[in-house]
Amino acid sequence: MEYQEIRNQIDEIFRRYVVKYKDGKRKILKIAVNDGWIYAVGKRCRKMAYYVPQHEYAEWESIKRYMSRPKSIDKMKDMLHKRVLNRAKKAIEMLSKSGMWDNIKGELEYFVSLPEAEQREISELLDRDSYEFYKLTFSGQKYSWVNHHFMFEQFAKDKCWKSLAWHKYDRETYTAYLQKCIEDKTNYSHGWANGYDNSVELAMKTDGIFRGWYSEEYRGCGNGHYYILLDATHAIHCEDD
């Protein structure tokens, strides 16, 4: 396909399309166009897009919007509520075992204790407008008991848990050592390069709360993706910089 032919069918917002290749293969790609270029989101890089070169899209035969099978609104609401609630319970379980982030664990336990109608209200708001949920966590607002809104926002997404990107042959050793530091409530920090400039840190603060962080920064940049650590193998996204 030619650039202009593709440009006429897609816009500047990333959306999923079914791309048919000249050899008959089909792929579902999340693509957009911007400043005369076509971009696609990589399979393992949900927030990073790459430039699609001309020789690649020249092999495309056709493109059309991907339309998933419709689900009833009630079923979708049920699925969303179940997703958020189950992930909150899973996070509580991980934090209980690791002994980390007691303040966040208490917040999640409060959410789990709410009547189902209130849980559903939060889940639906997260799906509809997460920024509106964030505004309602301000002091004096409806959800002012929420101090870590990003946790709930991540629970509502398709995927929320993040694994630490250790090198393949280091993973077992470093995971075991990190687990020991968590069990002993030992302050610890370590950095390594694996695609990003990766780092992990554990710290016991003066308020008695044991905390952990994980980050993936662009090489030599100091900006990137930041997570809180729930245990030795799970993190959850909190912000990008």
The pLDDT tens digits of the residues spanning 109-132 come to: 999 999 999 999 999 999 888 889
pLDDT level of residue 142 (50, 70, 90 thresholds): very high
Structural domain includes residue 7: yes
Structural domain includes residue 108: yes
Structural domain includes residue 168: yes
Asked whether residue 175 falls in the same domain as residue 213, the answer is: yes
Asked whether residue 98 falls in the same domain as residue 114, the answer is: yes
Asked whether residue 140 falls in the same domain as residue 100, the answer is: yes
Q: Which is more confident, 31 or 144?
A: 144
Torsion of CA 232, 237, 239, 241, to 10 degrees: 70
Alpha carbon distance 148, 84 (integer Å): 15
Alpha carbon distance 226, 228 (integer Å): 7
Mean pLDDT value across residues 185-194: 96
Chain-wide mean pLDDT for the chain? 90
Burial code of 143-161, b = ≥16 C-beta within 10 A, e = fewer?
beebebbbbbbbbbeeebb
Distances in Å between the Cα of 79 and the Cα atoms of 75, 158, 206 are 6, 11, 40
pLDDT score at 190: 96
Length of the chain counted residue by residue: 241
pLDDT score at 9: 84
Asked whether residue 61 falls in the same domain as residue 77, the answer is: no
Domain around 101: 73-149
Choose one of 38, 65, 92: the last residue of a domain: 65
pLDDT exceeds 70 at position 43: no
Q: Read off the CATH number of the domain in which 13 is found.
A: 2.30.30
The answer to whether the pTM exceeds 0.75 is no
Question: Mapping DSSP to helix (H, G, I), strand (E, B) and coil, where does residue 27 land?
Answer: strand
Structural domain includes residue 156: no
Asked whether residue 118 falls in the same domain as residue 50, the answer is: no
Phi, psi (degrees; rounded to nearest 5) at 15:
-140, 160
Closest CA to 217 of 239, 202, 235: 239
Alpha carbon distance 84, 196 (integer Å): 29
Q: Which residue has the tokens 């709930």?
A: 152
Structural domain includes residue 157: no
